[in-house]
Homo-oligomer: A and B are copies of this chain.
Amino acid sequence: MRERTSPSSSTPPCPRDGRVGSALAESALARHTPLTDLAGFHPWFAQLRADCYTETQQLPLDELAGWRTDADTGDLQHDSGRFFSVRGLDVEVADGPVPRWQQPIIYQPEVGILGLLVRRFDGVLHCLMQAKVEPGNQNGLQLSPTVQATRSNYTGVHRGRAVPYLEFFRGSGRTRLITDVRQSEQGSWFYQKRNRNMVVETTDDVPAAAGFCWLTLGQLHQLLQVEDLVNMDTRTVLSCLPWPGEELASRLPDADDFQASLLRSCSAAAGAVHALDEILNWITEIRSSAEVRTTPVPLRSLAGWQRQDGVIHHETGAFFDVIGVQVQAGGREVRQWSQPMIRPKDTGVIAFLASRIDGILHVLARCQVQPGCLDVAEVGPTVRCTPANWEHLPTGPPAFLKEVLGADPAQIRYDVLLSEEGGRFYRAVNRYVIVEVDAARTPEHPEFRWLALHQLADLLRHSHYVNVEARSLVACLRSLLGSDNP
């Protein structure tokens, strides 16, 4: 493991004639390359974590430098009018379990870039990863994509340093675009937020700057087994990569049953329980019939929410708080700043039930209304909830939560605590779980469908189909390919 490109990296990269599918497959299987080795990664990362101090101190919302509370509405806004704001939203979902509520929500209309720069070394695709501090991370440093930039970042509103490697995502250098799709973020906390998920391959001889390193997909998959290390932005970008199911299948002949079913699930040739048109019909039906109305309202006037001692919280103490923080950090564009953040009150559970159907792994996806969805509803995990919140709701726990929380350990294929975006959310940690079940014993429900992974990949070519929690789980599922765990 080296911080900078090794001598082998200065050999000419593979010419463009190599198919990207093949390079992706090589990368997914590569755990040791001449360039990088995870045995070297961990000490390097530990050293950076020790060096990159970050101190986050909670401050009352009234005392955030650069931020003001609008006199009329109580909305929280930056003095520049940019970055983001915290406002109020009134939500009506005619037939939902809770037909009407109000809540604070983050407005961030600008489209940022989550960009992963990839390059072939000795024919194997490597991803340029950034060790990045975010104020909301409980452990400070996590592994981020090459570029994680809001529009304010790169138009200079931050008055910070230039974003390294951004130029590769703005058309400079010898590059080939692999993925470019806007995807939504947390529909419970963001109003219609989306970021551009980009993967760009370069043939330039790009050195890894301090705090950056080149890793293969196989190595990232191993790191996804580590608690709280691979950040949300990395997970969502990885999920949007096209996946070389056929290529991989031909390379893993000895995979066991779960592995083989997972591999087949990545390959369009394997088919699935439902044709893609049936899946699109299911989404269209839910989006057409749901009667959802979201109305911006003043943050000050939200029913059930109070601003007290510089914190906005729900009268039950549940859900989340809006808090203020002052951040001192090294390793970020701006060294000291203040901002509001969302602080969830408890750890959530984000889970897919998975099942081998005709030898192909399927996941039970739920198409569900969320207040921040641009287009009514998106396809999400089987379960996405904070169990503690349900004590405050009249509806009881969501479907299939029991199956996840009560799963026999032998059924659990993945179970790792991971953080949500540390730039807006303060210590938002979720337990990501994949549980294998028997589909034949799982009751049918109009909001749920069994999907193969290649179908999720088809949907992920387009915006607004697959929500951020399900995208994280897609990355987690793929990380089980070729692993020793299942």
A contacts, CB < 8 Å to B? 109, 111, 177, 180-182, 196, 277-278, 280-281, 284-285, 287-288, 293, 374-375, 461-464
- Which listed residue (B109, B196, B293) contacts A284, Cβ 8 A? B196
Min CB distance A297 to B, Å, is: 14
B residues in contact with A177, CB < 8 Å? 277-278, 281
**Nearest chain B residue, comparing its CB with the CB of A278:** B177
B residues in contact with A109, CB < 8 Å? 293
Q: Which 5 A-B pairs have CB atoms at the shortest separation, nearest pair first?
A: A111-B288, A180-B281, A180-B284, A196-B288, A462-B462
Min CB distance A296 to B, Å, is: 10
Q: Tell me if A's interface is mostly helix, strand, loop or mixed.
A: mixed
Q: A111-B288, A180-B277 are in contact. List 9 more A-B contacts (CB 8 A).
A: A111-B287, A177-B277, A182-B284, A196-B284, A277-B461, A280-B462, A374-B375, A375-B375, A375-B464
Q: Are A280 and B180 in contact (CB under 8 A)?
A: yes
**Nearest chain B residue, comparing its CB with the CB of A179:** B277
Give Cα A463–Cα B462 distance, bound, in whole angstroms. Answer: 10
Chain B CB within 10 A, most for which of A177, A181, A288, A293: A288
Complex A-B: 6 CB contacts under 8 Å: A109-B293, A111-B288, A181-B280, A280-B461, A374-B374, A375-B375
Min CB distance A253 to B, Å, is: 30
Give Cα A461–Cα B182 distance, bound, in whole angstroms. Answer: 18
- Which listed residue (B182, B278, B287) contacts A288, Cβ 8 A? B182
Give Cα A428–Cα B285 distance, bound, in whole angstroms. Answer: 31
Give Cα A285–Cα B180 distance, bound, in whole angstroms. Answer: 9
Q: Are A463 and B375 in contact (CB under 8 A)?
A: yes
Q: Are A284 and B181 in contact (CB under 8 A)?
A: yes
**Nearest chain B residue, comparing its CB with the CB of A195:** B288
Give Cα A285–Cα B281 distance, bound, in whole angstroms. Answer: 28
Give Cα A145–Cα B246 distance, bound, in whole angstroms. Answer: 42
Give Cα A280–Cα B182 distance, bound, in whole angstroms. Answer: 10
B residues in contact with A284, CB < 8 Å? 180-182, 196, 463
Min CB distance A21 to B, Å, is: 13
Give Cα A463–Cα B287 distance, bound, in whole angstroms. Answer: 11
Give Cα A462–Cα B285 distance, bound, in whole angstroms. Answer: 13
**Nearest chain B residue, comparing its CB with the CB of A109:** B293
Give Cα A281–Cα B182 distance, bound, in whole angstroms. Answer: 10
Min CB distance A284 to B, Å, is: 5
B residues in contact with A280, CB < 8 Å? 180-181, 461-462
Give Cα A462–Cα B459 distance, bound, in whole angstroms. Answer: 10
Give Cα A479–Cα B177 distance, bound, in whole angstroms. Answer: 36
Q: Are B182 and A287 in contact (CB under 8 A)?
A: yes
Give Cα A182–Cα B284 distance, bound, in whole angstroms. Answer: 7
B residues in contact with A463, CB < 8 Å? 284, 375
Give Cα A177–Cα B375 distance, bound, in whole angstroms. Answer: 22
Give Cα A461–Cα B277 distance, bound, in whole angstroms. Answer: 9
B residues in contact with A293, CB < 8 Å? 109
B residues in contact with A285, CB < 8 Å? 180
B residues in contact with A278, CB < 8 Å? 177
Give Cα A177–Cα B285 distance, bound, in whole angstroms. Answer: 12
Min CB distance A312 to B, Å, is: 25
Give Cα A177–Cα B279 distance, bound, in whole angstroms. Answer: 12
Min CB distance A459 to B, Å, is: 9
Give Cα A10–Cα B287 distance, bound, in whole angstroms. Answer: 37
Min CB distance A172 to B, Å, is: 14
Give Cα A181–Cα B182 distance, bound, in whole angstroms. Answer: 20
Min CB distance A318 to B, Å, is: 31
B residues in contact with A287, CB < 8 Å? 111, 182
Chain B CB within 10 A, most for which of A278, A285, A463: A463
B residues in contact with A277, CB < 8 Å? 177, 180, 461
Give Cα A177–Cα B283 distance, bound, in whole angstroms. Answer: 14
B residues in contact with A288, CB < 8 Å? 111, 182, 196
B residues in contact with A281, CB < 8 Å? 177, 180
Min CB distance A178 to B, Å, is: 8
B residues in contact with A374, CB < 8 Å? 374-375
**Nearest chain B residue, comparing its CB with the CB of A285:** B180
Give Cα A284–Cα B278 distance, bound, in whole angstroms. Answer: 26
**Nearest chain B residue, comparing its CB with the CB of A196:** B288
Give Cα A256–Cα B50 distance, bound, in whole angstroms. Answer: 73
Give Cα A293–Cα B464 distance, bound, in whole angstroms. Answer: 19
Chain B CB within 10 A, most for which of A177, A284, A375: A284
